[in-house]
Chain A
Amino acid sequence: MKIYTGSGDRGKTSLFSGERVAKDHERIEAYGDLDELNSVIGALAASLPHPAEGVRPELEAAQAVLFEIGAWLATSPGSAAAGLLPPVDPQAAAALERSIDRMDAALPSLGGFILPGGSPAGSWAHLARTVCRRVERRVVRLAAAQAATPGDESMQRSIVYLNRLSDYLFVLARHLNRIQGSAERLWKR
Chain B
Amino acid sequence: METVTAESPGRSGPAAFRTRLLARRPLAASAFELSLAKPAGFTFTPGQRVRVHHAEAARDYSIAAAPGEEIIRLCLRRVATGGLSARLAEIPLGAELVFTGPHGYFTFQASARPAVFAATGTGVAPFCAMAAAGVSGFILLHGVAAQEELFYGDLLREKAAAYVPCLSGGRAAAAGHYRGRVTDYLRAQLPAGAYDFYLCGRQEMIRDATLLADERFPGSLVFSEVFY
Which of A's residues lie within 8 Å of B, judged by CB? 1-2, 4-7, 9-10, 12, 14, 16-20, 64, 79-81, 84, 86
Contacts and interface: CB of A to CB of B under 8 A. Distances in A.
A16 B222 contact: no
A5 B220 CA distance: 19
Interface string B217-228: 000111110101
B10 A7 contact: no
Interface stretch (B103-111, B140-148, B160-168): B103-111
B109 A10 contact: no
Given A18-B196, A80-B110, A7 B207 contact: yes
A80 B111 contact: yes
A5 B226 contact: yes
Contacts of A5: 203, 206-207, 210, 224, 226
Interface in B63-110: 105, 107, 109-110
B135 to A, nearest CB: 13
A1 B59 CA distance: 11
B214 interface: yes
A167 B222 CA distance: 38
Interface of B: 10-11, 105, 107, 109-111, 196, 203, 206-207, 210-211, 213-214, 220-224, 226, 228
A84 B48 CA distance: 12
A18 B213 CA distance: 11
A17 B221 contact: yes
B221 A16 contact: no
A4 B207 CA distance: 9
A99 to B, nearest CB: 17
A113 B61 CA distance: 55
A25 to B, nearest CB: 14
A51 B105 CA distance: 40
B48 to A, nearest CB: 10
A83 to B, nearest CB: 8
Max chain A C-beta neighbours (<10 A), residue from B105, B213, B221: B221
A1 B222 CA distance: 22
B224 A84 contact: no
B110 A18 contact: no
Given A5-B226, A7-B207, A20-B214, 7 more contacts: A2-B228, A5-B206, A9-B211, A10-B211, A18-B221, A64-B11, A86-B10
A67 to B, nearest CB: 9
